[in-house]
Amino acid sequence: MFINPEIKFYRSSGEFGFLSNLYKRQITFEGRQFPHAEAAYQFGKAKDPEVAEWIAAAPKPHLCAAIGHALLAFDIKPDWQDIKIERMRQVLYAKFTQHPDLAEELLNTFGATLIEASPTDSFWGIGKNGRGSNMLGILLMELRRKLQQQRGK
């Protein structure tokens, strides 16, 4: 158990790689199978269903993320900015509740601040200056609290 340290994660490998959306663990989301959480998340971004399928079929998780980030404004659902956080919340819930071993690992981080140490993403991570929103870390800590509460019942 951790006593208020920071756990920084970015890659899908290493001790805390399971926290990354690029971690290869299949999930069922919205009634379909995805090879990893990133595919489930990015699938919801594209306005065109054919483009969404193409994104989800990327051969590697990091390519799925790159494609999603490279979409032009007219390829993205008009309400994406309004729904993306809730979608990520739901994807994370699916990932960790469908894989009890991952839920256990997340619960084992109790007391630690989870930080997505992306040098390029200042919304989901902390960005290059370290002052980003860390939204992925925040959602993971929120989920950790929820899982702890569910266990307490």
The pLDDT, as a whole number, for residue 152 is 81
The pLDDT, as a whole number, for residue 151 is 86
Radius of gyration, alpha carbons of the chain: 15
The pLDDT, as a whole number, for residue 1 is 56
The pLDDT, as a whole number, for residue 101 is 98
- Report pTM: 0.94
Map 74-140 to HEC letters: HHECCCHHHHHHHHHHHHHHHHHHHCHHHHHHHHCCCCCEEEECCCCCCCCCCCCCCCCCCHHHHHH
The pLDDT, as a whole number, for residue 153 is 58
113 exposed, middle or buried (CB, 10 Å; 0-12, 13-18, 19+)?
middle
Q: All domains of the chain, ordered by start, with CATH?
A: 6-152 (1.10.357.40)
The pLDDT, as a whole number, for residue 2 is 54
Counting as low any pLDDT under 70, the low residues of the chain are 1-4, 153
